[in-house]
Chain A
Amino acid sequence: MLSAAFYQTAPVIALCASLGAVPLIALSRRHPNLREFWTFAAAALKFSMVLLLAGKVLAGDVVEVTLIQVLPELAIRLRVDAFGIIFALVSSFLWIVAAAYTIGYMRGLSEHAQTRFFTCFALSLCAAIGVAFSGNLLTLYLFYEMLSLSTYPLVAHHQDKEGRGGARKYLTFLLGGSVGLVLPAMIIVFTLGGNLTFADNIHHGIIPPGTGDTLVTCLFFAFLFGFAKNGVMPMHAWLPGAMVAPTPVSALLHAVAVVKVGVFCTTRVMLYVFGIDLMDALNLGIVTAYIVSFTIVTASIIAMTRDNLKSRLAYSTISQLSYIILGVALLTPAAVQGGIIHIANHAFAKITLFFCAGAVYVATRKKNISEMGGLGRVMPFTFGAFALASLSMIGAPPVGGFITKWYLLTGALEAGQMAIILVLLASTMLNIVYFAPVTFQAFFGRSQDEAPGNTGIREAPLLMVVPIVAAALLSLLVGIFPHVMMQFVRMVIS
């Protein structure tokens, strides 16, 4: 219905929508309402473009655009395919939800430097879409770095000692990994084959045949640990530290955009640079599966010990991210599907959980779980959403997380990996152990204050509660209608 030329520009528009919003946001700093309007306008434009492209991808097409020919042999190239569109859909849609929530949160606390905040927020969304639509490793690296840098002011937002420490750790891990490991690995891959464009299916990578096994293994692990945003232990330490950021940042960026960019890059490289066949031949998949299994279990155990709600959520994120990599590393069709769909399922559920943590903070200034007794009775919507999202984390039907667990377990059975099945089951138990008490405390626990009616605690502002409920409903919907996202996932593996 729309011309081919339109589809050539649509990814660029999607990319530049938030980039174009940056000067507008910066210029209208004296008019908060106008400033917030630009954020919404850019988010809506971005999402509509991604939606149009999703239709195109469903029709079986792949849109490719060369932006700039930077080197004679290499270009900044965008490619919209099924794998990228899943992540683009999730992050561009959640930007709209998060934008509403962010405004409520920032105004509710009358935070300083809100203009800087919204500017950097828009920039980081541009980088996230850029990663989703990258057509080659160079472009991926470019946007990956852009994301690291543009989120730094967000993490350091409070400009106090704690913020400085967290932000310092954040950049150390992310830049250390990307400059120290990914960059040399990328250049070696380029020297080997003279090509960085992602392969067009997940079976054959772009590593030329005949490359030494040791070199391939080294490259593989350089990518796995170099993309430190994926939170695989031991490169995870930045994530809990980055939780000093305001909650909307933690929600959108450290549960959705940043960490998902990490796993997206990792899986993109695993599937489209190395390819399933090569990983299988060198047993790289199963080694990775064990490495991330360790992360899954350890992070869950640490999460149990945390009383600070955001910190507990951070460790839960570390654990859940590794599900995605685990699925892909098992290399069987069902497991790969489970891993990829978890990008969406985890995003919807985790953003709800963080939103709830923020709402509790705005309404009560409470950060610790032990202080939240009885709060569910005064904040029913917030904690209702929290309960629903917890179910998704645990993997209970009918919420999205169940779909993931189903595919992952089927995949592990297909691969015949009993140990991995045990890990998945153990992790489910651990999830119950650390998520159930929060909801239980909130609804049935004794309030610390004498009588909850007298403390004046009410639900958070409407601008926060609506996004919370919307995000929770979404994570329910992806559980009830899994085929909406699964059709893209099937296109990836076919």
Chain B
Amino acid sequence: MMDQAPAFMLVVPVFASLVLTLIGPLGHRAAYGLLIIAIAVSLAAALATLVQVVQAGQAVHYRMGDWMPPMGIELVIDHLSAGVLVLISACALLTAIYSMHTARQDNPDRLNHYYALFALLVAGLLGMTATGDVFNLYVLLEISALSSYGLLARGKGKAYYATFRYLVMGTIGASFYLLGVGYIYIMTGSLNMADLAEILSRPELKESVNVRIGFTLIILGVWIKMALFPLHAWLPNAYSRAGTTTACLIAPLMTKVSVYVMLRIMFTVFSADYIFQQIAWSRLVIYLASTAAVLGMITALAQRDLRKMLAYIIVAEIGYLTGGAWLANTAGYTGAVYHILADGLMTLCLFMAVGAIIYRTGESTASAMQGIFQRMPVTAGVFLVAAASVVGIPPTCGFFSKWYLLQGAVQAGAWVFIAALLIAGLVAAVLFFKLLERAFFGRLDDAVTEQGSGKPHAAALKIRMQEAPLTMLLPLVFTGAALFGLGIYTNEVVQYLIRWSVPAGI
């Protein structure tokens, strides 16, 4: 049973999505229940695999249908992917629980089809993370991309246009990736990652221009998918117009999984040695990452729409992740991997909190925040925790990713990146402070305050407490607690997972 866990993890959500398309007549409760069960099974399988990997101290190889690699498709779950798999399935499960009210609000007519796409997307993301085959990765990339187009287009207003733009950009990215894989296949005759790594390490291929072109195309494709500056233009519109559930599912996971793919390609298929000696783009990429971090945050500061603000924060966070990966040292790599987990949770937490606020207030601009501390104290508290994590205040996990990233940057002497991280952190502080100040003070202009007297604030009294429904609140609080939990157990995460996956040569 334990041996089959990797297969269950992928097959159950795929199967669930098939069943979900058929059970429309059974009503929304059946669809909701089935989705949660399917993703809970995935999560259990992912956890089981994680335990297996940590106990064995080596990667778990699972051969689909017992076909031997390099011919057959192999799932390889090592210390890096095991953590990301748990992140994906946990985030998806929390979002699924959260979706009870919002998904029905956004999809009054065909909830079961919506949930079918939901399950398919999760399966695709899990597959991208688990696979040990570069072409298989492309297929799963397209599966998750197509289901995400479907989900995003069900949003409000101009969601169709924004999604179409995303579709065009996403397809270009996927094509670049496929083209790159083609080049590599021509040069090596293999698609299995481990096999590729062995072939690509041969000295005659290191100088090869074709391999270089292949790598360039793949990495450009991945960068489009993960919305690295300046290829990020599709992201904010697509994410901010999506329905609440969709945004909670896609925003934390899609880009993080793309970053994971980048790390896979860089350090598993190619090698640290090849990336930093032969390709040697570190300086350029760190400049791009720094620009992404600063510009992303500043643009976020300029937004009035809450979810657009969060979307630009993702653009900035992608800058952190990319910079960390390209610093070419252990601390930077540790920071990048840790930040995949931390940022996944942070983004989920922020989108969930904002979703709850929009659900209750019906507004999506910053003015929805007014008086939230009185109206929705729990949601506001969790939002505060998530904000502290983005700014990097201990003991939330955001502090520790910043800790490793800054340490890596100091070691690498990448002063631009240090400055970018600090400035982005300060801008984030200003951004969240503006929101939380509104949430704390409420509407000042209406308030009839007697100067200096201790009389209760007029506006504060008018606001009634109106917390989000329990199905939204529980996942939200859990995610908020997880931000602390991950921060406090940083030592364990680094020692049992990330240290094992540090590639040779950095």
List the interface of chain A (C-beta within 8 A of B): 68-72, 76, 106, 109-113, 138, 141-142, 145, 149, 153, 156, 158-161, 163-164, 167-168, 171, 175-176, 179-180, 183-184, 187-188, 190-191, 246, 365, 367
Contacts and interface: CB of A to CB of B under 8 A. Distances in A.
Please classify the interface of chain B as helix (H, G, I), strand (E, B), loop, or mixed, using the class held by over half of its residues: helix
B393 A190 contact: no
A181 to B, nearest CB: 9
Contacts of B418: 184
Interface string B475-506: 00000000000011011001100010000000
A365 B454 CA distance: 11
Contact of A71 (B440, B453, B494): B494
A153 B410 contact: no
Contacts of A71: 400, 403, 490-491, 494
B25 interface: no
Contact of B444 (A106, A112, A164, A365): A164
A256 to B, nearest CB: 22
5 shortest interchain CB distances as A-B pairs: A111-B454, A112-B456, A109-B454, A142-B394, A160-B449
Contacts of B449: 158-160
B406 A183 contact: yes
Nearest to A107: B454
Nearest to B461: A112
Given A160-B447, A179-B425, A112 B437 contact: no
A350 B79 CA distance: 56
B359 interface: no
A191 B418 CA distance: 13
Which of the listed residues A70, A76, A109, A156 has the most CB atoms from chain B within 10 Å of its own CB?
A70
Given A142-B395, A175-B429, A180-B426, A112 B407 contact: no
Nearest to B403: A187
A118 to B, nearest CB: 15
A179 B428 CA distance: 11
A321 to B, nearest CB: 24
A179 B410 contact: no
Interface in B389-406: 391-395, 400, 402-403, 406
Contacts of B488: 68, 70
B411 interface: yes
Nearest to A148: B393
Contacts of A138: 394
A156 B439 CA distance: 12
6 contacts: A68-B488, A68-B491, A71-B490, A106-B454, A110-B454, A187-B403
A106 B453 CA distance: 11
Please classify the interface of chain A as helix (H, G, I), strand (E, B), loop, or mixed, using the class held by over half of its residues: helix
Given A70-B491, A164-B441, A112 B454 contact: yes
B326 to A, nearest CB: 19
B433 A159 contact: no
Interface in B338-379: none
Interface in B422-459: 422, 425-426, 429, 433, 437, 440-442, 444, 447, 449, 451-457
B491 A72 contact: yes
B423 to A, nearest CB: 8
A149 B452 CA distance: 23
B411 A179 contact: no
B460 interface: yes
A316 B495 CA distance: 50
Contacts of A167: 437
Nearest to A179: B425
Interface of B: 388, 391-395, 400, 402-403, 406-407, 410-411, 418, 422, 425-426, 429, 433, 437, 440-442, 444, 447, 449, 451-457, 460, 487-488, 490-491, 494-495, 499
A138 B388 CA distance: 16
Nearest to A67: B488
A178 to B, nearest CB: 9
Contacts of A191: 407, 410-411
B392 A159 contact: no
Nearest to A181: B422
A190 B402 CA distance: 14
Nearest to A164: B441
A70 B400 contact: yes
Nearest to A156: B440
A161 B460 CA distance: 14
A439 B358 CA distance: 56
B436 to A, nearest CB: 9
Given A70-B488, A110-B454, A179-B425, 8 more contacts: A68-B491, A69-B491, A70-B487, A158-B449, A159-B441, A159-B442, A160-B457, A175-B429
A188 B331 CA distance: 13
A22 to B, nearest CB: 12
Given A109-B454, A110-B454, A191-B411, A153 B440 contact: yes
Contact of A184 (B406, B441, B494, B495): B406
A179 B429 contact: yes
B392 A188 contact: no
Contacts of A145: 393-394
Contact of A159 (B388, B425, B457): B457
A171 B425 contact: no
A72 B491 CA distance: 5
Which of the listed residues B392, B491, B494, B499 has the most CB atoms from chain A within 10 Å of its own CB?
B491
Contact of B391 (A113, A159, A179): A179
A187 B407 contact: yes
Contact of A179 (B422, B447, B460, B499): B422
A215 to B, nearest CB: 11
Given A156-B441, A159-B441, A72 B495 contact: yes
A186 B173 CA distance: 40
Contacts of B454: 106, 109-112, 158, 246
B395 A112 contact: no
Contact of A168 (B393, B437, B495): B437
A418 B170 CA distance: 72
Contacts of B410: 187-188, 191
Contacts of A76: 395
Contacts of B494: 71-72
Contacts of B407: 187, 190-191
B472 to A, nearest CB: 22
A153 B457 CA distance: 14
Contacts of B426: 175-176, 179-180
Nearest to A144: B394
Nearest to B433: A171
B491 to A, nearest CB: 5
Nearest to A153: B440
